[in-house]
């Protein structure tokens, strides 16, 4: 039963806002969360759960959570924080810990592949729905986001799943994986996520290189792909092209205010000696620390750091920042030592995607991040070759 619930969790994770978009039901108990919690309950009901291990990565993130929660609670008690931000951030973090606990204890190769295939199905459903709305109801959104709350999330989710698709294309040579990869790459472009598109382009180029025998094939494949996307995207852009503003030079140069956020966050960090202000608490201080000549958009809302490393450093303190950095170094060290093996190539690709996306996205509120951490924390997924 637990295995079925984990598959349902994977299926509905890319459909996180499906109840709201289709039935106007806004609830904290989203379907993927419901199935995840049920899977945890069934795990505890099974006596075999005593054999499950709390690996060092789980313990490290639990420490980060505890520290961030206590610092946030302490500062709120002094009147210097927001309980709503602390509560919301804590819920996301606890769900992430559940994901690590459940997935990192899976040692069955077939079950892991099954979970990932369900995840891909959910992602395709979300993307197809998003494309339909993007084309036929352009007034609802100028960026494709499917059933996600944030367009960047669908882009980064596709980034994370792409190495798995490429791995299956290379080893199983299944045309469905090829079609899925090409389709999802187009979805990243329409999402308007600049970092997501940059990462996907790098993934795409890498995939062409590993499948091509010589430079001529590489150039030919890139040219054919570019022409194909041009003819596919042209009619779509004729119906909805507002998202192209995201890729204009002036917008890219300003970074949509991210440099202003970095300046404000670092100022808060220096004022608090980088001890951390608590889970999600930077938003409480955001407007007070911004420069008066900051990018106009960031002056209107209590925004987050939009950067995972900055989130750890400012909200969770320098100790948490170093713990996560040490985790990345350990994973890189393991994969580099095994660099001659095929699994390391894809493991390093996933690690690079994680690092690059972390520079423009707070990851602790992003469920797909926790799935990646679960895989990297045990190396189980990579050791099946």
Question: What would the two tokens of residue 200 be?
Answer: 């996907």
255: pLDDT confidence band, cut at 50, 70 and 90?
A: low
Question: What would the two tokens of residue 283 be?
Answer: 């938003």
Tens of pLDDT, residues 309-348: 999 999 999 999 999 999 999 899 888 888 777 777 788 8
Tens of pLDDT, residues 58-101: 999 999 999 999 999 999 999 999 999 999 999 999 999 999 99
Give the separation between CA 268 and CA 77, rounded to whole angstroms: 19
User: 159 or 52: whose pLDDT is higher?
Assistant: 159
DSSP structural state of residue 383: G
- Report the predicted TM-score, pTM, of the whole model to 2 decimal places: 0.91
DSSP structural state of residue 151: H
- Residue 241 to residues 56, 151, 219, 238, 310: CA-CA distances in angstroms? 47, 15, 28, 7, 32
Q: Where do the structural domains in the chain lie, given as residue ranges?
A: 55-105+257-385
Tens of pLDDT, residues 223-245: 888 888 888 888 888 878 777 77
Whole-angstrom distance between the N-terminal and C-terminal Cα of the chain? 27
The contacts of residue 309 (CB under 8 Å, 6+ apart) are 321, 324, 358, 359
266, with CB counted inside 10 A (0-12, 13-18, 19+), is: middle
Residue 290 neighbours by CB distance under 10 Å: 20
Tens of pLDDT, residues 135-189: 988 777 778 999 998 999 999 999 999 999 998 888 777 788 889 999 999 999 9
CB-CB contact of 285 with 305 (8 Å): no
User: 346 or 103: whose pLDDT is higher?
Assistant: 103
């Amino acid at each position: 039963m637990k295995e079925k619930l984990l598959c349902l969790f994977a299926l509905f994770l890319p459909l996180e806002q499906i109840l709201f978009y289709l039935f106007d039901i806004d609830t904290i108990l989203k379907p993927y969360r419901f199935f995840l919690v049920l899977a945890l309950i069934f795990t505890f009901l099974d006596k075999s759960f005593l054999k499950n291990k709390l690996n060092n990565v789980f313990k490290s993130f639990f420490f980060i959570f505890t520290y961030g929660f206590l610092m946030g609670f302490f500062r709120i008690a002094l009147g210097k924080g927001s309980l709503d931000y602390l509560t919301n951030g804590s819920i996301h973090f606890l769900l992430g810990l559940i994901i690590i606990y459940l997935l990192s204890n899976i040692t069955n190769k077939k079950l892991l592949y099954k979970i990932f295939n369900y995840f891909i199905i959910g992602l395709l459903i979300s993307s197809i729905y998003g494309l339909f709305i993007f084309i036929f109801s352009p007034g609802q959104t100028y960026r494709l986001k499917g059933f996600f709350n944030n367009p960047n999330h669908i882009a980064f989710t596709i980034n994370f799943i792409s190495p798995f698709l490429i791995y299956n294309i290379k080893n199983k040579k299944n045309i469905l994986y090829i079609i899925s990869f090409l389709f999802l790459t187009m979805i990243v472009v329409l999402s308007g996520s600049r970092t997501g598109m940059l990462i996907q382009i790098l993934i795409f180029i890498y995939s062409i290189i590993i499948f091509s025998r010589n430079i001529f094939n590489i150039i030919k494949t890139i040219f054919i792909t570019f022409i194909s996307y041009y003819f596919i995207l042209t009619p779509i852009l004729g119906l909805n092209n507002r998202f192209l503003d995201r890729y204009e030079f002036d917008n890219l140069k300003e970074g949509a205010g991210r440099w202003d956020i970095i300046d404000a966050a670092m100022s808060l960090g220096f004022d608090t000696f980088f001890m951390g202000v608590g889970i999600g608490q930077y938003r409480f201080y955001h407007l007070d620390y911004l420069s008066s000549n900051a990018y106009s958009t960031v002056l209107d809302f209590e925004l987050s750091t939009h950067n995972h490393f900055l989130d750890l450093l400012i909200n969770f303190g320098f100790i948490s920042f170093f713990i996560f950095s040490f985790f990345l170094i350990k994973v890189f060290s393991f994969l580099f030592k095994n660099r001659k093996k095929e699994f390391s190539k894809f493991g390093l690709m996933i690690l690079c995607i994680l690092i690059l996306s972390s520079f423009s996205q707070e990851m602790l509120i992003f469920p797909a991040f926790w799935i990646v951490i679960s895989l990297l924390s045990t190396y189980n997924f990579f050791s099946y070759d």
